[in-house]
A and B are shown apart, each in its own frame.
Chain A
């Protein structure tokens, strides 16, 4: 079974600064995908970024980027130029490749962006 751990229950950052959210996972699979989801106060789950394990290049989506360290089983999310709208709960998630679309989530990190 896979496990996903987010060791930072809460974080805060000043507007316009950079923040990094940590995520580690444990799996024996070689083919898998990793995701970061954002859950704002509206509770909607929003996909932020996705990383395929077979890709060495770190995924980037505008101000969001990841640091994927496969050997260390680490998948951190960096948010640059933080904005007030980034205030949300962030979940790291794991999915096995070619074995169904079940996501295994970490416990979440609550991020507060301060003006």
Chain B
């Protein structure tokens, strides 16, 4: 089954404790991205990747890091989480960067930073 998976689905952590949210897709997609969802603001893009070893900032990159060492994986790293990073996070992938192709979203990760 074609899908985007994220782990963990729920995470409660404390300020400053480094964490990683994993994202993996099995569709051989070139393009992957991370969004955060906050009430009233919709989803906002954090980082995206056009292909392996190619990443770039989205609209709200501060406090986040990403890497794309393999085509299928695109982890989101919070090196020193703060309470304002409490949010619902989505990973998404699509066939390619250029042109318009359907984006497949993961199931979401609910992160709480205390």
Contacts and interface: CB of A to CB of B under 8 A. Distances in A.
Interface of A: 4, 6, 9, 33, 42-45, 47, 91, 93, 95, 97-103, 105-108
Nearest to A45: B105
A103 B45 contact: yes
Contact of B108 (A6, A9, A43): A43
B44 A101 contact: no
Nearest to B29: A101
Nearest to B38: A107
A101 B45 CA distance: 11
Interface in B74-114: 88, 90, 92, 94, 96-103, 105, 107-108
A101 B100 contact: yes
Contacts of B96: 101
B43 interface: yes
Most buried by A among B43, B88, B92, B105: B43
Contacts of A44: 105, 107-108
Contact of A43 (B35, B44, B88, B99): B88
A105 B46 CA distance: 13
Given A95-B100, A101-B31, A102-B58, A107 B108 contact: no
Given A43-B108, A47-B102, A97-B100, A102 B41 contact: no
A102 B99 contact: no
A107 B90 contact: no
